Amino acid sequence: MRRLLGGLTLAGLVAGLVMAFGVAPREATQGNVQRIMYLHVPSVWVAYLAFGVVLVASVVYLVRRAEAADRLAHASAEVGVLFCTMGLISGPLWARPIWGVWFTWDPRLTMTVILWGIYASYIMLRAFGGEDEAVRRWAAVLGIIGILDIPIIRVSVRLLRGIHPAVITQKEGGSGLADPWMKVGLWVTAAAVVLLASWLIRLRMQSARLTEEVGALRQQALARGGVA
Distance CA 45, CA 104 (A): 20
Distance CA 72, CA 59 (A): 11
The phi, psi pair for 91, rounded to 5°, reads -60, -55
Domains of the chain by range and CATH?
Answer: 2-223 (1.20.120)
Model pTM?
Answer: 0.84
Q: How many CB atoms lie within 10 A of CB 113?
A: 13
pLDDT of residue 57: 96
Q: Yes or no: say if 191 and 12 are a contact pair by the CB < 8 Å rule.
A: yes
- Tens of pLDDT along the chain (228 residues) come to 767 877 888 888 898 888 888 877 887 777 788 888 888 899 999 999 999 999 999 999 999 989 899 999 999 999 999 999 999 998 888 878 877 777 777 778 888 899 999 999 999 999 898 778 899 999 999 999 999 988 888 777 666 665 555 555 444 444 456 678 888 888 999 999 999 999 999 999 888 888 777 777 777 777 776 554
Q: Yes or no: say if 156 and 111 are a contact pair by the CB < 8 Å rule.
A: yes
Q: What separation in angstroms does the CA of 144 have from each of 119, 141, 191?
A: 10, 5, 25
Our measurement of the distance from residue 104's CA atom to the centroid of its chain's CA atoms, rounded to an integer in Å, reads: 22
Distance CA 128, CA 130 (A): 6
